[in-house]
Amino acid sequence: MKIIRSMVLVSADDESLARGAQDVFHAFLEEIDEFGLSDQITVTTIRDAGMHGEKPTVIVYPDAAVYGPVTVEDVHTIVEEHLHKGNIVPGLLAMMREMAPEIGWMRGRRGALPVQKRIVLERAGVVNPASIEDYILYDGYQALGKALTKMTPAEVIAEVEKSGLQGRGGAGFPTGRKWSFVAATPGSPKYVICNADESEPGTFKDRLIIEGDPFSIIEAMTIAGYAINAHEGFIYIRGEYPLAYKRIEHAIAEAEKHGMLGEHIFGTDFSFHIHPHAGAGAYICGEETALIESLEGKRGMPRARPPYPTTYGLYGKPTVVNNVETLASMPAIIRNGAMWYREVGSPKSTGTKVYTILGNVNFTGVIEAPMGITLREVIDIYGKGMKNDKALKLVQTGGSSGTIVPASLQDTPLDFDAFRNAGVSLGSGALLVCDEDTCVVDLAKVILRFFRNECCGKCTPCRIGTLRLYEIISQISEGRGSLDDFDLMQKISEAMSEVSNCGLGQTAATALRDILKYFRAEVEAHIVDHVCPTGVCPIKELAAVA
């Protein structure tokens, strides 16, 4: 059998290709063959290695050494010294800031990526996502085999409960408890749904997981089906993710072909089938009951709750709905055990979290880090610091429906309990980092415009509330606001939070409420002084006309 000990990733984005990445790729294949290493080293491409100005970029795993810019002439040296002799080549490493060992960088390796604890993303970018053989080589299907042959469904649920895994879609509900509710609910059939309708602005982690490691989702859903006695599952994928849909389809076909999905899996009495379904791009279908309505062929609008999907879900039957990241954590938990998983993260928020970093930082992208890391560490280590050395003003966590975290709270651990105690929320893991030049009024305007457009219109508080809040904040941004607007916005926000039918209306004004709490003086400057302190809003021009 081919035993892979190293993986070489060559960047293949447009800039890299323009600079000769294809020639570099073929040079690696030739040199590796010359050294007789073809059976030990895999060479593949990565769409974007995340480096700017250092392209073509080459990443060598498992060392996570980043070389760049790499020319054809450099390839022989990298293969001979690093891949053949095991010595990283310092002179060819991409130039990055000096490591800071006290905050977790890899010591002594200039140009290496910062250390990440990878559980969900352990295979992404390492294996061929179309190859079930690659997946199996990297511990794939060990968890399912263990569950089906050595564990009862109740033991699987107990292991998930002991792990402390909480839903990674935003709500943070204990996964094992959700599974136990469905398992204990009478009635059949039961269903497993993977919520891959990743519509939260700024969030693209689920897309990366599916595109990079689709078999992990298939395995996890099958484990969930075994645990709750379900024999059918659905993956609801965002319509704008055609590659993810294609790779899931292929993974399902390959798993069925190899007897790891379908009838009598692993020769046991357990059978499970999975069906992919593409959504039409409605933000509201990220809400689990609206997603279920859409799966049933109806308009995607949320149901009144209770009853919850655990007792009355797809086609009125007990249903487990889990987020992509939640499911992707599952195989490692079953394979290694709950106590192994609990050693990562914080005592009350175990495991890792996948974050998307956006905004005014020097590096944007996706990372996976243990729960409990702080925003300051995320920005300094993974974001490579604030862009242009500007001061941090705020971070919006969890996408447009998430909370506004001021710079004063950047040392709060990123876990569910610590954030809840601080009056903010972790959400889906999208981190929008904003510097001192960000206008909070303009930010609120952009967010409320989004929710005004995405509201499904089913309930009055959300339908009218999102429109009125957008109108009010727009007037303030134009210097036409009133101090009475503060009370009005507060009342509308509270009403939406308390009586809206679903999470969209309940959280649509979250960012605005936080802005009024932490940055009231800046909003008042727009109203009283007719000045935008950051110079973003066009108040002066409008005031002059008036």
CA angle 306, 309, 312 (to 5 degrees): 75
Does 76 reside within a domain?
yes
Could you read off the pLDDT of 281-303 as tens digits, one per residue? 888 888 899 999 999 999 989 99
**187 and 288 assigned to the same domain:** yes
User: DSSP labels for 166-186?
Assistant: B-TTTT--BHHHHHHHHHHS-
Least reliable range by pLDDT among 58-72, 311-325, 435-449, 511-525: 58-72
Contact 435, 454 (CB under 8 A): no
Total count of domains within the chain: 4
Structure tokens at 71: 């020319």
As a whole number of angstroms, the distance between CA 338 and CA 93 comes to 38
* pLDDT score for 51: 54
Predicted confidence (pLDDT) at residue 318 exceeds the cutoff of 50: yes
What residues pair up with 405 in beta bridges, in sequence order? 395
Grade residue 107 by pLDDT with cuts at 50, 70 and 90: very low
Mean pLDDT of the chain: 87
**282 and 428 assigned to the same domain:** no
Does 319 reside within a domain?
yes
Give me the mean pLDDT over the 332-347 stretch. Answer: 92
449 burial via Cβ count (<10 Å: 0-12, 13-18, 19+): middle
Structure tokens at 129: 């996502």
Could you read off the pLDDT of 415-424 as tens digits, one per residue? 888 888 888 8
Q: Find the domain containing 378 and state its range.
A: 352-435
Sign of the CA dihedral with 148 first, then 152, 155, and 161 last: positive
As a whole number of angstroms, the distance between CA 309 and CA 334 comes to 24
User: DSSP labels for 487-531?
Assistant: HHHHHHHHHHHHH-SSHHHHHTTHHHHHHHHH-HHHHHHHHHS--
* pLDDT score for 27: 94
Predicted confidence (pLDDT) at residue 97 exceeds the cutoff of 80: no
Q: Give the residue from 535, 221, 201, 247 showing the smallest Cα distance to 396.
A: 201
Domain of residue 146, CATH code:
3.40.50.11540
Grade residue 52 by pLDDT with cuts at 50, 70 and 90: low
* pLDDT score for 346: 84
**414 and 300 assigned to the same domain:** no
Out of 435, 450, 481, a domain closes at 435
* pLDDT score for 63: 66
484 burial via Cβ count (<10 Å: 0-12, 13-18, 19+): exposed
Q: Give the residue from 472, 507, 497, 499 showing the smallest Cα distance to 487.
A: 472
Cβ atoms within 10 A of the Cβ of 272, count?
23
Instruction: Please identify which residue in the block is written with the tokens 């960012």.
Output: 511
CA angle 469, 473, 475 (to 5 degrees): 120
**279 and 263 assigned to the same domain:** yes
Does 122 reside within a domain?
no
**338 and 374 assigned to the same domain:** no
What residues pair up with 386 in beta bridges, in sequence order? 361
Q: How far apart are the first and last CA of the chain?
A: 78
**92 and 137 assigned to the same domain:** no
Report the percent of the chain where pLDDT is more than 90. Answer: 60
**415 and 367 assigned to the same domain:** yes
**337 and 397 assigned to the same domain:** no
Could you read off the pLDDT of 214-224 as tens digits, one per residue? 999 999 999 99
As a whole number of angstroms, the distance between CA 329 and CA 454 comes to 30
Contact 293, 303 (CB under 8 A): yes
Grade residue 106 by pLDDT with cuts at 50, 70 and 90: very low
Does 318 reside within a domain?
yes
Contact 121, 325 (CB under 8 A): no
Q: Give the residue from 85, 48, 45 showing the smallest Cα distance to 63.
A: 85
**335 and 390 assigned to the same domain:** no
Sheet holding 41-46, edge to edge: 41-46, 6-11, 58-61, 65-67
Out of 413, 435, 457, a domain closes at 435
Instruction: Please identify which residue in the block is written with the tokens 């569950």.
Output: 147
As a whole number of angstroms, the distance between CA 69 and CA 13 comes to 13
Helices (H), 12-125: 14-18, 21-34, 72-77
